[in-house]
Amino acid sequence: MRPVVLCFSGLDPSGGAGLQADIEAIAALQAHAAIACTALTIQDSQQVYGFQTVDATLLAEQAAKVLADLPVKAIKCGMLATPETVAVVKQICQQHPHTPLILDPVLVANSGGSLTVDGFIDSLKQLFPYAHLLTPNTVEAERLTGLSVANNEADVINTLSDLGVKAVLLKGGHEQGQMLRNRLYQDNKLIQTSQWPRLNAQFHGSGCSLASAISAGIANGLPLPIAVTRAEVWLQRSLQNADFPHKNGQAIPRRI
Ligand code: PLP
C-alpha cells in the first residue's frame, strides 16, 4: 500500500485545518493518512470557540493500534494542546526512533484563537530531540525561543538546534512584503530558500496542509529539501484555488 503518515491532530469541524487538512494533503501527495485524534475543536472559518482534548490513554491506544497494523513511514504532529498529549507522542517517538517526526508547533489558529493550555510550550520542547523537521512560522519561532527573528534569525535557529531540532522550515507567512519567503535550515545551516507571491487572503489550515504534504514526501522517501519544495508548489496551487465560505472568514485551501 501507499506509505502511511500517522498524524496526531485535532478535528476542525469547518474542514479547513486539523485532521481533515492532513488527510487531504497526504492523499494528494501519494500517501495514506492515519489519524490519532488529539482534540475536538469548536470552530468555523472565522474563529475558535473552544476545544476538548482526547484522554491520553485513548490517544495512546489509537496510535498503538495503527503503528502495529499499518506501514507507518512518518509521524506528523499538529494540534497537541496539552502536556499530557505531548507525553503520549514522546513515548511513541521513543518506541519508534527510526520513524521521522514532522512537528508543526501549532499554538494558535490563523484566526487568532488559542489551541493550547498553559504550560504547553515548555512541554512541547521535549519533542524537539525527536523532530526530523520543525515547521514554525516566524511568530511561533519567536514564542518558542523568546527571540526576535527580525533582529537575529541565526540566534533563533541556534536556540532551536540547541533544544535538539535537526531541521527547521521557518515560514514567512506572517512577515511583510509582496513575496513570502520560507527558509529551510538543516544542522544550523540555511540549505534552501523559496519565495512565493503573497496571496491577498487569510487562509485556514495552510500550516497544517504544508506540514502534512512534506510528511507525505518524507514517507515516500524523498530527501527533505525535495519534499519541502514539492509540498510548497502543491500548497501554492491549493491556496490559489481556495474556497471562500464567508466574506468575513478565512479561505479554505482546495487541496484535492
Ligand atoms: N489544528 C487544528 C485542529 C486547527 O483547528 C488549526 C487551526 O485552526 C490548526 C491545527 C492550525 O492551523 P494552521 O494550519 O492554519 O496553522
For range 149-159, the mean pLDDT? 97
Whether the Cβ atoms of residue 133 and residue 213 lie closer than 8 Å to each other: no
For range 89-94, the mean pLDDT? 98
Q: What is the CATH number of the domain that holds 91?
A: 3.40.1190.20
Q: Does residue 246 carry a pLDDT above 90?
A: no
Test site for ligand 1: of 208, 250, 252, most ligand atoms within 8 A of the Cβ = 208
Question: Ligand 1 atom 7: the closest Cα is on which residue?
Answer: 109
The predicted pLDDT at position 42 comes to 97
Q: Does residue 170 carry a pLDDT above 90?
A: yes
Residue 256: inside a domain, yes or no?
no
Residue 250: inside a domain, yes or no?
no
Q: How far apart are CA 136 and CA 170, in angstroms?
A: 6
Band (pLDDT 50/70/90 cuts) for residue 111 is: confident
Q: Which residues constitute the domain of residue 137?
A: 4-240
Q: Which residues contact 176 (CB under 8 A, 6 or more apart)?
A: none
Q: Which of the two residues, 248 and 208, has the higher pLDDT score?
A: 208
Q: Does residue 254 carry a pLDDT above 90?
A: yes
Residue 136: inside a domain, yes or no?
yes
Cell matching residue 228: 519541502
The predicted pLDDT at position 256 comes to 94
Band (pLDDT 50/70/90 cuts) for residue 214 is: very high
Percentage, residues of the chain above pLDDT 90: 97
Give the H/E segment covering residue 43: strand 32-43
Residue 252: inside a domain, yes or no?
no
Give the H/E segment covering residue 221: none
Q: How far apart are CA 82 and CA 134, in angstroms?
A: 18
The predicted pLDDT at position 216 comes to 98
Ligand 1 mean position to 177 CA, how many Å? 24
Residue 251: inside a domain, yes or no?
no
Burial class from Cβ neighbours inside 10 Å (0-12, 13-18, 19+) for residue 52 reads exposed
Cell matching residue 218: 518524507
Test site for ligand 1: of 7, 11, 12, 134, most ligand atoms within 8 A of the Cβ = 12
Band (pLDDT 50/70/90 cuts) for residue 248 is: confident
For range 58-75, the mean pLDDT? 98
The atom number, within ligand 1, closest to the CA of 79 reads 1
3-state helix, strand, coil in the chain (%, to 5): 40, 25, 35
Percentage, residues of the chain above pLDDT 70: 100
How high does pLDDT run on average in the chain? 97
Q: Does residue 239 carry a pLDDT above 90?
A: yes
The predicted pLDDT at position 168 comes to 98
Residue 172: inside a domain, yes or no?
yes
Q: Does residue 158 carry a pLDDT above 90?
A: yes
The predicted pLDDT at position 85 comes to 98
For range 191-213, the mean pLDDT? 96
Residue 203: inside a domain, yes or no?
yes
4-63: per-residue pLDDT in tens? 999 999 999 999 999 999 999 999 999 999 999 999 999 999 999 999 999 999 999 999
The predicted pLDDT at position 110 comes to 85
Residue 140: inside a domain, yes or no?
yes
Total domains present in the chain: 1
Whether the Cβ atoms of residue 193 and residue 181 lie closer than 8 Å to each other: yes
The atom number, within ligand 1, closest to the CA of 111 reads 8
